Structure 1
Amino acid sequence: MKIWGRENSTNVRKVLWCAEEVGLDYEHIPAGGAFGIVGSPEYRALNPNGLVPCLEDDGLVLWESNAIVRYLARRYGEPPFAPADPRQWAAADKWMDWTSLSFAVPFRDLFWNLVRCSAEDRDSAAMERGGEQCAQLMGMADAALEEHPWFSGEDFGIGDIPLGCIAYAWFSMPIDRPGLSRLEGWYVRLSDRPAYQKAVMTPLT
């Protein structure tokens, strides 16, 4: 198994974290950003988007981070991480897509300007707007944790992975955050997981 991608990418972290959780033996190939590779003809033959991550597993080539996480969970995971009940899977799946479709855009405005732009190049208005929107969305996530301790339900699972990768940056960046006790408790539980520490808690760059 090979996984291409730079470890400071949120989407790559999803895949590396999932692979660690299910105990896979894989080769991680840094790619994208300063590592290059993604523009080469060989890589484009695998992923014509020229993006990371990309997975190669026993003849299967797969891109799109959430799709890779679902594949690894279905093929190599066991309940409760990979639910056998379609209803439980759908409930976790919902949070995967919510993170990628609803949360990722305002978070990018915040993260990109705060972490990846120099102070003189920052778009302060976009950063402020992104921070406000993220705070509202994190409030929704906090409310959801009133019913269950994890976004996957009663146990940790695939539904926690996308938001968990973003949560590391959210709780690490020097920003004002609303006090959300359930979300904070969830993040503490994630931070105790060895797979999370290895795959996600790497420098923010």
Structure 2
Amino acid sequence: MTLTIHGIVSSRAARPLWAAAELGLAHEHVPTHYLGGATRTPEFLALNPNGRLPVLVDQRPEGEVRVWESMACTLYLARHHGKGDGSDIAPANAAEDAEALRWSFWAVTELEKDALTVLMHRAVMPPEQRKPELADQAERRLVVPLRVLEQHLQRQQGRGHSWLAADRFTVADLCVASVLNWATPAAELMARFPLAGEWLQRCVSRPAHVRLRATP
């Protein structure tokens, strides 16, 4: 089997690339950039007619499987390339699978837009192009989902678990952390939610993620 992931680390492709690293999967990384028209060529549009990253292509004995959307790519890798026995990031049972699904969808619907606004207007964009008022508004909205996350982590702590879905790091943690990490420039906001902040640091400090971020 041949597994190929199209995208760069500084894009949403980081999510399936992180998952592949956690799972120890041999794969080809095609570092396609989202700028400069690379995702609008006929060749790329044949992979994803939306012209967006990432794209995952899995050559399997039964035929080619192609996946768009970063969370879908990441969940696919865990489900179809993980062991599923509780030894890696893949869900080991229906309950863990449900947690992975709901927290991944939650991250997209409740966190991503505002976390990205914080990242862009607090850190990434040139200072003269930033609009602090947009970041301020985004941070105020993020209070609600961060409170949900904090309360869940508190309940997990009471069960003796320090991760979102189980007593180990799973794809649920990976997917949510990959989004929440964008909000870290909002230091005062993150300080209000110490369990979420500590959990996030444990996620992004994992060797697979550290190595990934060191990729040129």
- Tell me the TM-score normalised to structure 1 length: 0.88
Which residue is equivalent to 2:188? 176
Instruction: Measure, in 2, the Cα distance between the counterparts of 1:50 and 1:61.
Output: 14
How many residues align? The count is: 201
Match of 1:27 in 2: 28
Larger relative contact order (Cα-Cα within 8 Å, sequence gap ≥ 6): 1
Aligned mate of 2:110, from 102, 108, 125: 102
Task: Determine the C-alpha separation between the residues in 2 that align with 1:16 and 1:5.
Answer: 9
C-alpha contact (below 8 Å) 1:6/1:35 kept by paired residues: no
**Greater Cα shift, 105-114 or 16-25:** 105-114
Is 1:72 aligned with 2:74?
no
Aligned counterparts of 1:99 and 1:131: Cα–Cα separation in 2: 15
CA distance in 1, matches of 2:119, 2:105: 19
Moved more, 41-50 or 176-185: 176-185
Q: TM-score, normalised by structure 2?
A: 0.84
Partner of 2:46: 45
Gap regions ≥5 residues in structure 1 = none
Distance 2:105 2:212 in 1: 20
Q: Which digits, 9 at most, give the CA deviation of each residue in 1:125-165, with x for residues without a partner?
A: 21110122223322221111112211122221111112211
* Cα distance per residue 1:61-110 (max 9 Å; x no partner): 21111111111111111233222321221022111110011111111222
* Backbone CA RMSD of aligned residues: 2.1
Q: Any unmatched runs of 5+ in structure 2?
A: 157-161
**Aligned residue number for residue 14 of structure 2:** 13
